[in-house]
Structure 1
Amino acid sequence: MFHKFHPAKIVVVLASVWTALALPALAAVTVTKTADLSFGKLVPGATSGTVTISPIGVRTASSSVTLFNQASTQQAAVFAVSGGPLNTTCELTVPTSFTSLTASSAPMELSSFSASNVSNTAISLTNSVGSITLDGLGAYTVKVGATLTVGASEPAGAYTGNISVTVTCP
């Protein structure tokens, strides 16, 4: 089984031994972030609300959160999977929630993570786990979106944090 955690870049490779015969080690799966998840520019209101970025990059807001499009970049995170077993179904795991997105003393929470492939076809997730099938080169592209909870009168700032995506192949 291969495990790849991003961004820590930890790879665990398990090789099996059958009687006295050692099976060859397989290539390690690599997950590389190629684009950051960005919610763009927004202004919190008098009540808390949410901003959602879908895996295809569509941004929506609820409650009194105001979205700004001028000079604002919003996009889903993109991860490139490579080096996996060819034409193999692997397990994709995205976070369930993430609470340390901070700019000042007021953290904001990310939740409701969702994923799609490069063709914008949704990846069905159950408890943040879904299946992907690597192509004939052992590669796959995953887009990840999420919902940001914005507190009432949230302090201004550039809020940052890291999310991890794990791909496990047989």
Structure 2
Amino acid sequence: MTEPDEPAPRDDGLGLARDIAKSYRGKGSPVPPSAKRRIRPAKPARGARDEPSLLADLLGEVVNDQGWDERLAAQRVFTDWAGIVGPEVAQHSEVIAFDDGEVEVRTDSTAWATQLRLLSPRIVAKLNELMGDGSVLRIIVRGPQAPSWKKGPRSIRGARGPRDTYG
């Protein structure tokens, strides 16, 4: 027969119930792991949307959903100007506006304004290549601002400008 300290055979449900009762009273061995109910970890109810993804991909989706593609492409004219025209030309010029396919550029000197006017067909082609065909129609080049003769200590009301001051 069995010893009093040994657990009863677990062939039937009654023996298993006795073992469980003894373990609660502090007598006998606890329920062996094989007799315990197996608990499986819960699978997350969330789908693939919670998979880790790159922030750039998420921002790209937001940009597409909001319809900001064209505006961001237009901003490339301002941010990538040095890469588009080269560092030397970018050092002497800056983009001041971009509206309705017209890029407005201000230069340091009239010589650089002339150079940019000569290079403008190439720059338009390169901008259209980068931003999409037909996005830039022309480049308006502005030279440096000339001093105004209309205001100041030596100005005369109703005068015709610098022609009246030099004899």
Do they fold alike, i.e. is TM over 0.5? no
**Structure with larger RCO (C-alpha < 8 A, sep 6+):** 1
Structure that is richer in helix per residue: 2
Q: TM-score, normalised by structure 2?
A: 0.22
Structure that is richer in strand per residue: 1
Q: TM-score, normalised by structure 1?
A: 0.22
